Structure 1
């Protein structure tokens, strides 16, 4: 079973592209959705995050904005956050893989925003990077409620630059050209992965 990492900086159209893979019948693991579930009332991350960052929970759930403010610009705090969340995500992802295997899937997509930043590409057979011109990216992100130029810049400083991601990718999907060209690229990627001559970046075979 082929593991395809899907990543891209904020505002590049990664979520839309992930949906295109789903529509093509490919199971998609959404890391952001998995984190959100961990933060909900009764979620597995609530108690350990309250212990690590007292005051970041409210009504039995993690207050994501309060947590964001606690870790923003603080590398030590980010390390503590990751130490709590990453093991929980690992178990969640294992369950996803087992379910996909049972369903007979031949390709799995792992939608992980910080794939390169966390070294997750080492666990993938191939990596697809979603990209768009910088002006389109900025317009998309600043249209989001509550987003400001300063906040966007702070987010971008924590992400691997788009040019570096594209250079390290096996496939690049440019959403700046529109939905249908992106959808066609998704189809080409799936065809390439299913080609008997294709080789994994992880195993070389």
Structure 2
């Protein structure tokens, strides 16, 4: 089984690219989606986060905006949150791998792959990239996003140029969806996997 890591800074188009791999039959583990599920009503992290970060839980779910405001820009608080979240994500990832043991390849969408030193756990690393002005426009178009929040998120992420240098493959999402799909198909072919029809 080939373990493929998909990463890239915020607003680069990871979700779009990930779905192209899914359409080609590659099972996807989305770390952010797993965290959201664990922080939603009834999620396994709600009580623990609420105890460590009072005032961040409302109606049985973690308020991600309040939590984000609490930890972004505060290295110690962010580290405390990661100590709660990261082990649970690893557990879910291990279960995902076991459940898909017969697949020829698995895709892992991990935004902070390099930042957490996790790239060593994967056979192939793909970085999704776009010009900085396009990235900024995409991110600031999101509901609830502000320039200050965007800059705070960027400050935690390794520069795009460094990520590209460390990647096995780079997908440029600045063009059309068809152009992006062609790049995905080329990578699948290079890895001996079947491209989406």
Residues 31-50 of structure 1 mapped to structure 2, 5 A cutoff:
31-50=31-50
Residue deviations 1:92-148 (CA, integer Å, cap 9, x gap): 1111111111xx210100001111111111101110000011111111111112222
Q: Name the residue aligned to 1:57.
A: 57
Q: Give the Å deviation of 1:44.
A: 0.9
Q: Give the Å deviation of 1:25.
A: 0.6
Aligned residue for 2:26, secondary structure, equals coil
Q: Which runs of 4+ in 1 moved over 4 A?
A: none
Structure 2 segments unaligned to the other structure (5+ residues): none
Q: Name the residue aligned to 1:143.
A: 141
Work out the CA distance in 1 between the residues paired with 2:35 and 2:119. 19
Q: Name the residue aligned to 2:163.
A: 165
Work out the CA distance in 2 between the residues paired with 1:128 and 1:135. 21
Work out the CA distance in 1 between the residues paired with 2:77 and 2:172. 34
Work out the CA distance in 2 between the residues paired with 1:150 and 1:75. 17
Q: Name the residue aligned to 2:19.
A: 19
Q: Name the residue aligned to 1:177.
A: 175
Residues 48-127 of structure 1 mapped to structure 2, 5 A cutoff:
48-101=48-101, 104-127=102-125
Residue deviations 1:30-61 (CA, integer Å, cap 9, x gap): 11110000001111111111121112111111
Aligned residue for 1:12, secondary structure, equals coil
Contact 2:38 2:45 in 1 (8 A): yes
Q: Give the number of aligned pairs.
A: 193
Q: TM-score, normalised by structure 1?
A: 0.91
Contact 2:129 2:172 in 1 (8 A): yes
Q: Name the residue aligned to 2:130.
A: 132
Structure 1 segments unaligned to the other structure (5+ residues): 196-205
